[in-house]
Structure 1
Amino acid sequence: MSVIVVFFVNGAVFANWAPRIPEIQNSLSIDVATLGLALTGIGLGGLAAAPIAAVMVRRFGSRWAILASGLLLCAAFVLPAVAASWWTLLAALVLLGGADAVMDISMNAQGVLVEERAGKSLLSSFHAAWSVGAVVGGVTGAAAAGARVPVALHFAVVGVVLILALSAVGRGLLGPARVGRAHENQVAGPVAARPTAALALLGAVVLLAGLMEDFPQSWSAVYMTTEEGAGPGSAGMAFVAFSAAMLVGRLVGDRVVDQFGPSTVLTGGASLVALAFLAILGLSLLAADLPVLVIGAFAVAGLGASPLFPIVFSLAGRLAGVSSAAAISIVSLVSRIGFLLAPLAVGRVVDASGFGSVLGAIAAAGIVVAVIGWFYGRKFPVGSRSHSASG
């Protein structure tokens, strides 16, 4: 239960932030290119902190790493709301991104440890709790935006509530222990022989998946406002739809992967993302003012994106020849590069040629991930049970 609350808290933080981005942009009077530059702060902070996280987990245990980074994340959450310029917004997001990276790696390491103790797959449920937090946070943020609650007040209240939640479950987390692999010798064959090649492919997946997930979180409200004419309350519903569909996908993720295998689900999920963004692109090219359909397409994208990170963390955390904590840190580090590059690239491209080019690029990324999933299944065949989507 404690780990579920931790994942929930992590998901709720930036989900509350996403629907308020247009208001923060307007309050600072910055264009989309400058906003994109400021949003790279999340990736910069994460990129800088990710290598430290594995050291913290090994030295102090994932429990203390979770609590330290989680409390910092929630306490500093109000900073973007009081930023006075784009560069102070950038600085605030660097701090939040760093805290988020440490929390992300340590809570996944804790999840692997809990799986070891329980002897069964649990990470998919933990990531589903993250999605619950994202849905609740997105709805809260959209409601606060619709009610025109001051952003600073909204973020401060959310921060206090989440700090109390983390404090309440801290004792329930597993203390300092070696976070090892659940089954050191379970993987045989090509994956065991070439963990570097396998990690490279998994890194490519999370790099592109970062773009797929960052756009709904960082840009969907801006897109709905500028391209679909949505109001402050409804603009955040695209992200809510994305997060809600992701939750549904993760609730059934383990069973789907056990049935069809991780590579097949990677291919299918990424294909859904590609189709969803092609649909959004088609609606924009037709100049169709149909925000309900766009929101529905974001939901399809969320369903498709739901297994991507869980499967990668599961596969990486169980590779023979590399420790679980190290593999998770490597994958997380690469994903942080994606989250660093995505906002900057999107801001620049939108400023130069509009949202259409970005939507096409995300669809292309989905196709590439689908091909990687197909190739991974052929090059590194794994058993469905030992490599189920447990993240």
Structure 2
Amino acid sequence: MQEDDEQVTTCRVNQGSGTGFSPGPEGVNDLMGNDTAADEATRIRAVLKDQPLGLSIKEISLAVGMSRNSVAKYLEVLTATGQLELRHVGNAKLYTLSQRVPVTNIINFTKELIIVIDKSLRIIEASDSLCAFAGASRIEILKTHLSSPPVSLLTPAEEGRLYALLNGGSSWKKEIRILRGSDERYLDGRFIPTRLQNGEPGITLILEDTTVQRQAERAMQERDRLLHTIFQIPTVPRFFIDKNHKVVFWDRALEILTGFKSEEMVGTRLHWKAFYDREQPCLVDLVVDDDTEQIRTVLHGKCTPAPSSDSGYECTTFFPGLGPSGTWLHVTATIIRDSTGSVTGAMETVEDVTQKKQQDFVVEE
């Protein structure tokens, strides 16, 4: 899952004090993990708040009443966690407060859905966009987990894998699929190891809603699948309707047979005009509705199940309005399904069998 190699780099600053103190995450916790240390760090930040040009270790030591060695240790941790900035002016090292905008002021102005979680995998920040997506208030979301309501973005097993990121793992990406009733949403998630304000490890999750792109991709795949189906069928006149009975395809062979152009039919429900002088359902309409009762009664038992399909019917019947003297057509209607098995429409093929019928009549006579 290591899509990115973007790891949080901890800046280590040697003060030349000879202490050999170089805190990683463990050093940060050891030094800052008690109330006294937190108070001392707060005092250092308070002193620097009034000194925008920065102070040296000696000046900070005098201001807070601590030894230089102790001050150097705190400064190293505060710099490593991004709370202070170090700049060199000649031989002097000057420390200033980091000029950072609070994360809460940033995340609410981005279109992405953003969540920040702490080392216990609890949510400690959530953008307005995330709250709107989850349909919950920030108060309801904070202190919950990604695997539980109201967010419910990961399974417990997937959430457990995040501990690797807290322990120095690389950022990774994951596509998240969410089903809410009949509504399906897709999110591209990027999990980024983050150093929190208190110096502890955390994770920032940035989510981009890619539902529209995925739906477009699926529509294109279904179109390609439909075209593949079309070209696998023998070249006989045919047309397709969707499940709302609108024509989506009307081929050239059918134009020649019926005299109706594709542009006259596609997007309409007027396909009946090619075969009847008054409006009535074609076989394809009954098949797409799975109306077997209508197939039996309206077509007077002329139809039989199509041997080439488990959900299609076929029949041979005479259409008096088609052609100068009427036309005998062998009609087959079959269901079209998408990759999930859901009905998306139906296809009707029509084969002119007039000549064969006339030959049969001659033989019978």
Sort the TM-score into its range (normalised by shorter chain): under 0.3
TM-score by length of 1: 0.20
Q: Which has the larger radius of gyration?
A: 2
TM-score by length of 2: 0.21
